Structure 1
Amino acid sequence: MPKSLADGHKKVAILTTKPANPAAPTVAELTAGIDASCAIMFSDFTWSAADSDTVDEKALCDVGNATAYGASNWDGGFTLFRYFTSGGASDATADAAFQAAKVKGTTLYVYVRDTSKLSTDAWASADEIYLGGEVVTDTPQAGEGTGYIKRRIPVAFQKGYDNIAAAA
């Protein structure tokens, strides 16, 4: 099987409602969510497992240290482009991702597919999701004032779902 270039392949679904099974969201749930793939800036998108906590688990007879992995950790955050009408108001449809994430303390369910499928390809049963997460948003941060109007949304993972698949 050939390798796949990464550009244009991450599909991001933001759900404002908890899926029936967050570890196996259905295609219908993912499709009903906000497709944020084109609303997120590529250069600072962070969505990954991070180093797990470690616990020293050395027996009395061990020479040297012995470490075990403890609680899992994840790292996340993304910058959302803002979309406006010609009159300057928020565009209800195009700006949906920002509107969902703009209030500090909002719980969201975010799922990211990163396969050889394009970001614009529809969700399908058994699509690999490299990381899904229940996250809480922090206060949006203004950018440096160049380029498009955008806001960085730091998130704190409450739960992470590694290497799962979309359910039928």
Structure 2
Amino acid sequence: MPRTSAEERIKQTFLFTKPVNPLKPTAAELNAGLDIQCRTMRNETRLSAVGSETFSEPLGCEPGNPTDFGSSNFEGSLTIFRWLDSTGKPETTEDEVWDAFKVKGTEFWAYQRQGPRHDQEWAAADADVEYFHGTTDNPQQPSDTGAGYLKKVVPLALRGDCKVDGSVTITAGP
């Protein structure tokens, strides 16, 4: 079987109201959320686990300095394209992702899926769904200000209840 291209195969949906069960959201809850993948820069938007904390507490009789993993860490950031009309004012329907993330402290519950095309709705059969819970920081200028399209970078503070181990289940709902 050939490798699968990531192009058009990552769906990222954000909810701004906590789902009834964040680890078992319904397809209806997710399909009512805000899909961001067509309004963010693909290679600069990241929701991911990163290296866990480590600690070393060897027994007195153990040689060397053995290391173990402790608390999990997660990181995220969104690079959001701006959608402005010819007078420089925001396009209200096209700029909806910016509107959702521009205020520091906005709480969200996010779900990311790889595999099916990004435009396929969430379904109970979806596998390998990742869950991220967090808040936004102040929007920042990108490092390439003045080049390419207008955009803003929004750092995300992700909580410890994130799940990237395949344990999130999409349910059909009530």
Normalising by structure 2, we get a TM-score of: 0.88
Residue 85 of structure 1 deviates from its aligned partner by 4.2
Match of 2:30 in 1: 30
Match of 1:106 in 2: 106
Q: Deviations over 1:39-58 (max 9, x none)?
A: 11012122211011112131
Distance 2:15 2:128 in 1: 14
Count of aligned pairs between the two proteins: 167
Distance 1:38 1:129 in 2: 21
Residue 8 of structure 1 deviates from its aligned partner by 1.1
Distance 1:129 1:103 in 2: 30
Residues 4-23 of structure 1 mapped to structure 2, 5 A cutoff: 4-23=4-23
Match of 1:124 in 2: 123
Match of 2:135 in 1: 136
Residue 131 of structure 1 deviates from its aligned partner by 2.4
Question: Structure 1: which 5+ residue stretches go unaligned?
Answer: none
Residue 142 of structure 1 deviates from its aligned partner by 2.0
Match of 1:65 in 2: 65
Tell me the secondary structure at the aligned position of residue 29 of structure 1: helix
Residue 88 of structure 1 deviates from its aligned partner by 3.8
> Which structure shows the higher strand fraction?
1
Question: Structure 2: which 5+ residue stretches go unaligned?
Answer: none
Tell me the secondary structure at the aligned position of residue 162 of structure 2: strand
> Structure 1: which 4+ aligned runs deviate by more than 6 Å?
none
Distance 1:131 1:51 in 2: 17
Tell me the secondary structure at the aligned position of residue 12 of structure 2: strand
Match of 2:158 in 1: 157
Residue 126 of structure 1 deviates from its aligned partner by 2.9
Normalising by structure 1, we get a TM-score of: 0.91
